[in-house]
């Protein structure tokens, strides 16, 4: 059984691609066969975050238009052998992506026996975002604890509940999860930032992960190594927990509170 997961948010810059890359790596690290697809036609970026930008020969649109086979376009990850990346096209023609074409590519991946297909949605609610979510079984809605991100997420939840194949066919709809990123426990404690519970209450959704704000995320994208692979980072552990929860494990949320600093650390800074 292949499961199709869309990583979406509405608002841009909240961490969809970072999340797609880390979730895909996390699943692959657990032995699953994973394909991660960049749906952001015209603004390819997943390849950079995955660190395979120089190995892109063919892209998603090439496959849809029959310029190459799917096998030729899939880039095998150098670190995890069960992980494959399908890059977005750099074409400016947004109509290059068609529902029928996307369906064909997904069907071929399913026939090939992939366990998970992770669809990295573009920001917004246009065609690319629509097609990224259309065939999904599950959705990871990435949200920052900030007003515009939360509002846009709610808009996306509305679309997931109406403009997806599962919603149209009425077979249970898409299973939705919240993933909070850029969470700053210190600012939550001082009342400057909404808490996990606040966001959960407003959107009425279960939380699959809370990723603390961390300099490691930028360092990871700088180097093209998804942050989940940096075992020393809290962000990595938080993503790994989220992947475990996606696979059905029941883990408590971590990193919701500021780490306690010892007396000396506070006195001398550390």
Binding residues (CB under 8 A) for another protein: these are 146-147, 150-151, 154-155, 158, 188, 190-195, 198, 201-203
Smallest separation, CB 252 to another protein (Å): 23
Smallest separation, CB 137 to another protein (Å): 23
Scored b (16 or more CB within 10 A) or e, 114-141 reads bbbbbbbbbbbbebbbbbbbbbbbbbbb
Residue placing its CB nearer to another protein in the complex, 19 or 195? 195
Q: In what order do the strands lie in the sheet with 138-143?
A: 75-76, 83-86, 34-38, 116-120, 3-8, 138-143, 175-183, 207-212
Smallest separation, CB 162 to another protein (Å): 8
Residue placing its CB nearer to another protein in the complex, 52 or 193? 193
Residue placing its CB nearer to another protein in the complex, 128 or 145? 145
Structure tokens at 82: 């069960």
Smallest separation, CB 213 to another protein (Å): 15
Degrees, nearest 5: CA angle 3-13-70: 40
Residue placing its CB nearer to another protein in the complex, 53 or 154? 154
Identify the residue whose tokens are 């600012």.
Answer: 187
Contact indicator for 185, 212 with CB cutoff of 8 Å: yes
Structure tokens at 189: 């404690």
Residue placing its CB nearer to another protein in the complex, 143 or 246? 143
Cα(209)–Cα(142) distance, rounded to whole angstroms?
9
Smallest separation, CB 129 to another protein (Å): 17
């Amino acid at each position: 059984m292949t499961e199709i997961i869309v990583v979406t948010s509405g608002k841009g810059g909240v961490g969809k691609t970072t999340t797609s890359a880390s979730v895909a790596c996390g699943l692959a690290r657990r032995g699953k066969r994973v394909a991660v697809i960049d749906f952001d036609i015209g603004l390819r970026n997943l390849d950079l975050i995955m660190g395979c930008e120089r190995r892109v020969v063919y892209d998603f649109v090439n496959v849809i238009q029959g310029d190459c086979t799917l096998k030729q376009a899939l880039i095998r990850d150098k670190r995890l052998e069960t992980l494959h990346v399908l890059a977005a096209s750099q074409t400016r023609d947004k109509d290059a992506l068609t529902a029928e074409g996307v369906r064909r590519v997904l069907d071929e991946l399913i026939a090939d026996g992939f366990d998970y297909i992770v669809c990295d949605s573009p920001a917004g609610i246009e065609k690319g975002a629509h097609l990224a979510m259309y065939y999904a079984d599950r959705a990871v809605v990435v949200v920052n604890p900030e007003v515009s991100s939360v509002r846009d997420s709610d808009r996306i939840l509305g679309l997931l509940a109406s403009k997806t194949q599962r919603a149209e066919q009425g077979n249970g709809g898409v299973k939705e999860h919240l993933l909070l990123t850029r969470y700053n426990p210190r600012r939550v404690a001082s009342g400057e930032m909404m808490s996990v519970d606040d966001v959960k209450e407003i959107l009425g959704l279960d939380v699959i992960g809370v990723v603390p704000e961390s300099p490691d995320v930028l360092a990871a994208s700088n180097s093209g190594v998804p942050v989940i692979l940096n075992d020393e980072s809290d962000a990595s552990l938080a993503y790994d927990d989220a992947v475990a929860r996606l696979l059905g494990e029941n883990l408590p949320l971590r990193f919701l509170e500021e780490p306690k600093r010892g007396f000396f650390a506070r006195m001398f800074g550390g």
